[in-house]
Structures are given as structure tokens and as C-alpha cells.
Amino acid sequence: MKRTFGFCVFAGLLSLSCCTVTRSGYLAKANKLFDAGKYAEASLNYRKAIQKDPQFGESYYRLGLVAIKQGDPRQAYEALTRAVELLPDDIDVKEKLSSIALSYYLLDSRHPKNLYNQLMKISADLLAKNPNSFEGLRVKGYMAITDRKPADAIQFFRKAVQTKRDPIVKTTLADVLAQNGQLQEAEKVGLEVVAEAKDYSPAYNVLYTLYVSSKRIDDAEKILQARVTNNPKQSIYVLQLAEHYADYQKPAELARTLQRILDRPKDFPQARLQVADFYAGRKNFAEAARYYQEGIQTNSADKLVYQQRTVGLLLQEGKQDEAANLMEQILKEHPKDQPTLRLRASLWVERGSAANLDAAISDLQALLKQSPDDRFLLLNLGQALRRKGDLDAATAQLLQAMKDRGDLAPRYELAEIALERGQGKQAVQYSSEILAYSPANGRARLLHAMGLMATRDFDVARGELTALIKDDPHNAQAQMQLGTALLAQKNYPQAAELFEKLRQDASVGPRATSALASTYLSENQPDKAAKLLEDALKKSPNSTSMRSELAVSDFRAGKYDAAIQEFRQVLATDPKLLKGWLALGEVYDLKGDLDNSISAYQKARELAPKDPVPPISLATVFAKAGRIKEARACYEDVLKADPNNVSALNNLAFMLSDDPVSLDEALRLAQRAIQIAPQEPGFMDTLGYIYLKRNMLDSALQTFAVLAQKYPAYPTFRYHFGLALLAKGDKTKAAAEFKAALANHPSRLEEAKINQLLQNKS
């Protein structure tokens, strides 16, 4: 038994020693895997070696090499940086790190200071050990370029290519020489690269640019021909030669060049597609369509590709109906073809009809189930939902589409949604994010100025718009916004002058005419505004914007019947115009025709069931008509969807204040509205009115006294202050407030009540 036990112990120890792999063992195993091209397994073993010894510099170095093979430059950079720290005297490690770091540095337009310092140190270390270090000289050359020292760059690159005839560095040398005006030497170096490395395309590009800029067009043609001759199976070079002939209007040479690849289907199986794409890129739609059609008929294997390209061509030509028909044909044969489904959804979003938008949303949601993080799909869905009027859902999708700082399209949409909602700060935020990435972006600059205007920061907005117009004198949209800012600041003469000039611009002419009419109305010249619009309508009788503006002009002039007639005509043309129905409801309300006002607001509510404006407007008229239950239901519907809607909170509170049973609920709602918007005077007036109804007279007096002092021209505040004074027994001061209210033109209803109170007092 003892001998058996001893054997078991010995066997166990032997097994344990076999399973204990050293760091060198992992390194050796990883190196074999690396040599066999098994990079994932090699990486795992290099990491195991590092776990055995976190100071194992050789394993970090090899891990960096694996990352390079795997196309992971960030991992390579991190591993090699650590390797240099652990192996400070190893030249190979430093050279590999400098190569990765230089790539990062050159690709980042900001040229990070930390990478600059690191590269300068590594190159100095390399050159200190070997003054002819190719890597050290190469890095110095590129750093000199970014430091805008071309003479130094040329010196370093010359020494580098003497050490090693590298085509990349030598081509860079030729490029820097050309940019520095040393054209003869640049040409000599470039031709040397072409002779030594016939397949290195950038060298041909440098020479071509040199010849074209020197107006040596024949030599430019010859260098492109040489690239084709030296690389006979590269169709891209043939197409670039064809581009040259197209640019310099040599149709015969162009045709012969393209025929070279069409005649060699074995070498160029995609020749017909490439030629069609070439013509599409040159906007020669007829020739592109001809070759796409030939491809559909002769190449059944690639028929779908040719059809998809044809769809793109038709859209480029503006032939949306033909494109849509072809997409439907494709989807009959390939119902799950994602590129076509995506393109069809985009077209539907662009078309914007209700049916198109519903179909687009359905398709996009289905596509997103398969690709939930696809930014293009998220953007398209956000755009579709926005056009449907569902701004909350649109915002949610657009925020998901915004993955990094370079995603500008969703930011444009979000800024415009913010402006639609009157959220100036958000518009400024999103446009500022675009400008941080693209400072000269004209569209973002315009949105930023519009956001400032929405926050009533007109002076700064005017400054930005003036600068934008200086940079882009033909930007009519910016000029329209500048006119709007002038109008808002009551600078009527300048606004009118600008709008008058813009009326001649086809892109904004109708809007400028409407804006000029608004300017006249603001100057209390309704007749002048009406004549302007009537004259414009004679030239453009179908212009709904002009007719809407004329209706507003009539409305502001108190011509309610004329305004109703104009709005009715607008809505006959565009029955889904939400603003039209809202305006019509308001005119009927002011005219005292509550039944028609209710009908108009109900239509608006049907058109935009999620928009709070129609039900709030409808509730106001219901209340005037004595239909309190229906009014309350409207407000409650709004608050179910948005418990913080301050207009609904305030209006419902004011309405309930006339019901003694509901005064506690009215007070709660009013206080909630003031919590959300403490500076809104109308909400303070509602609270004061509730205090009055609850017989909290001191609180009511204090509230109304502040409002009357701060807003002396607002009749409702003076009227309510008079009611509180009357309740307190101060009839003399109450009468004074009632008279002040009358002098400031109260509503008809308030005017009647005030006159009744004054008569009773007398």
C-alpha cells in the first residue's frame, strides 16, 4: 500500500510540473501561432505571458505586432507604447511604435500635441543612435510638413530615401518639392518612383497634378497612359484616363479608352457596370441608362445590381415615379432586398404624403429590427415621424442616430424640430454642436441665428446673420431671417426695405411679400398690407401662403367675414393645413360664432391628435359656450399626455375657479403651473383670481397690485385688481382700476362686465 501511495504522489507532482507553463513557454507558443497566421490564438497566449509577468516587454511588443496584423491600430499603439516603456533601448520596438503613432497623428486633423511630443522624442532617440535611421528621418520629415516647414521636410526625406528607397516616402518627397515650387526636381523624383514601383499609384497622381498645374496637358495624358500600360489589369486606371479625356473634351479618345475594358470581359467582368457608373458620375444619364439596360438584359447574375443602379440614376434625374415603379418590380422578385427597401423608404419620406409616410415608417421599423443601430435607418425614421407630426417619437429616433460628433444630419433635424416647438435654447445647442465640427457650415450658422431669435436674443442673432450674409451675399434665407429680426425689434423701415428687395428673389419671393405685409400690419397700415397681398394674388392666385397672409391682414383689421372667406379658400385648396383650421377657429371665436369655432378646432384636433394646441383652443371655446364638462375633458386629455403642459394647467385652473366645489383643485393646478413657469404673468393672474374666489383677499390684492404695476397696459390685470379692491370695500380705487382697464381695450366680455360694475357703483 505504501509503494502504491508513493507512486500516486509522484505522478501528481509530475502532472503539476507539466501544467506549469512559464512566460517564455507562452511566448514561444504564441510566436509559432503568429508565424502560422493564427493571430487570435497568438494574441491570447501573448496575454497569458503578460499575466505571468506584467513587465514582460517582449510579449507586449509581439502583442502589438499581432494587433497590426489584425487591423487594430489602437490596440497596437497601446501595446507598443507599453513595450517601449519596458524596452527603452530596443530600436525595432520604437520604430514600430513610431509608425503607428505617425499614422494616428496624420489622420487626425487636430494633430494632437501628445502624439506630436511622443513622435518627436522617438525620432530624436532613433537618430541619436543612428543619424541615418530611416524611421527617424521619415518621422522628422512628416512632422516638418505639419509644422509648415517644407524646406526641412525636403531635407529629411532626401536623407531618408538615400538610406532606403521607399516609394511612399519618395513620393511624398516629390509632392513636397512640387508644392515648394521645385517642379523639375519633383518631376525627376516622381519619375524615378514610377520606374522603380510601377504599381504605386500615388506617384502617378503626384506627377499628373504637377503636369496639369503646369499646363502640360500632353504630359499629364502620357503619365495616365503609362499607368494603364504598367498595370494592364487595373480597370480603375483606365477609367481615370477616361476622366481625363472627358475633362478635356476628347470624345473620340474617351470612347476608345472605355472600349478597352468593354472588349476584355475576361479581365474586366464588371466592365459594363463600371462604364455605366462612369457616365452616371459625369451626369450623362442617357449613356449610363443604356449600359445599365444592357447589363440587365445580358448579365442575369448581376441583374439586381444593374436594376439598383438604374433606380439611383432615375432618382438623380428627378424621375421619382419611374424609380418607384422599378423598385416595386425589384421587390416582387427580391422582397427582402434591403438596399431597395431602404431606398424606397427614403423616397417615401421625401415625398411626404400621409400614405407614403405610413408605409415608410412601417418599412423602416421592420428594417431596424434587423439592424437596430443603423444610423441611416434611425435618421430616416426620425424624418418620417417628424413629417407625420409626431415630434416626440421623431426626437427619440434622431437622438439614437446621433452616435458621434460627425453625425450632422440628425442634428439639423433636431435643431429644426426645436425651432418648430419654439425651443430656442435647444436649437442653439444642436446647431452649436454642428459648428464645433464644421465652423463654416452655412446651414448650421443660419439655424444658430434662428435659435437665438427664438430666445429673443435679437442683437446677437443680427450680428451672426450679418456675418453670414457677408460670407454668402446670395443667401436669401439668411436675409429673410435678418428681416424677421428687424421686424421683431420694430425696425420697420429697414425690415420693409429688405423684404421689398427679397420679393424679386424667386426662392423666397412669396415669403418676402408675406413678411412685407406683416411689416405694414405692424405699422398699423392694414390697407397697405391688403393691397400688396391682393396684387400678389392676381399674379399667383393659387398661392396659399399669400391668401393666408391676406386672411391674417383682414383679421387684424377686424374684417372677420373677409378673413373667414380667405381662410375657407385656403383650406379648400389644402384641407390638411393645421394652421389654417386653427386660424379659422380663432376668427370665428372673435366674431362670436362659437359653434363654427368649435367645428374648426375639432377639425384641427383630428389632423393633429397629439398636438396640444387644438384641444387647448377647443377647451377655451367650449368654456365660453358654457360646455364646461367638454372643456374640462379637453384639458385633462392634454394633461394625460403631458402633465407639465403649463397652458393646460393654467387654463383649467382658471376655468375651475368659477366652481366653488373645485377651488382646491384649481389652486393646485395654478401653483403647479407657476412652479414650472414662475415668470409668466398670466399664471400669476390666475392664481390671484383663485385667491379672490377663495376669499383670500389680502393675497389676491398683493398679487394683482404687483401685476397692475408691472403691466399697466394689460386690461385683464387691471380688471381683476378692481374686483379684489371692490371685494375689500374700496369702491373708489376699484372704479379707477375698472376705468384703466377700459382704456386699454379689454375683450368684449370683460368690457361688458366692467361697464355693468361701473353702472352698479354709480
Residue 262 has pLDDT above 70, yes or no: yes
Strand, coil or helix: what is 516?
A: helix
DSSP labels for 700-748?
Answer: HHHHHHHHHHH-TT-HHHHHHHHHHHHHHT-HHHHHHHHHHHHHT---H
CA nearest to 312, candidates 327, 331, 290: 327
Q: Which domains are assigned to the chain?
A: 695-762 (1.25.40)
Q: Is the dihedral of CA 580, 583, 585, 591 positive or negative?
A: negative
Residue 20: its pLDDT value, please?
A: 62
Q: Which of 154, 84, 157 minimizes the C-alpha distance to 126?
A: 84
Residue with cell 390697407: 527
Q: Which of 12-16, 306-310, 337-341 has the lowest mean pLDDT?
A: 12-16
Does the pTM of the predicted model rise above 0.85? Answer: no
Residue/partner pairs of 303-306 with CB below 8 Å, 24 or more apart: 304/330, 304/333, 304/334, 304/337, 305/273, 306/273, 306/276
Calculate mean pLDDT across residues 281-286: 94
Query: How wide is the angle at C-alpha 514 spanned by C-alphas 512 and 519, nearest 5°?
Result: 90
Average pLDDT on 698-723 reads 92
Structure confidence by residue, pLDDT tens digits, 697-709: 999 999 999 999 9
Asked if the model's pLDDT at residue 15 lies above 50, the reply is no
Q: Residue 584 burial (CB < 10 Å; 0-12/13-18/19+)?
A: buried
The DSSP secondary-structure symbol of 660 reads G
User: What is the pLDDT, as a whole number, of residue 303?
Assistant: 93
State the alpha helices, DSSP H only, in 181-230.
183-196, 201-213, 217-230
Cβ atoms of 530 and 555 within 8 Å: the answer is: no
Looking from the CA of 630 toward its CB, the CA atoms found within 13 Å total: 14
Give the position of cell 481615370. 240
Residue 762: pLDDT band with limits 50, 70, 90 = low
Question: Is residue 19 very low, low, confident or very high in pLDDT (cuts 50, 70, 90)?
Answer: very low
Containing H/E element for 122?
helix 113-129
pLDDT digits over 431-475, tens only?
999 999 899 999 999 999 999 999 989 999 999 999 999 999 999
What are the C-alpha distances in Å from 114 to residues 117, 120, 122, 494, 604?
5, 10, 12, 52, 59
Mean pLDDT of all residues in the chain? 90
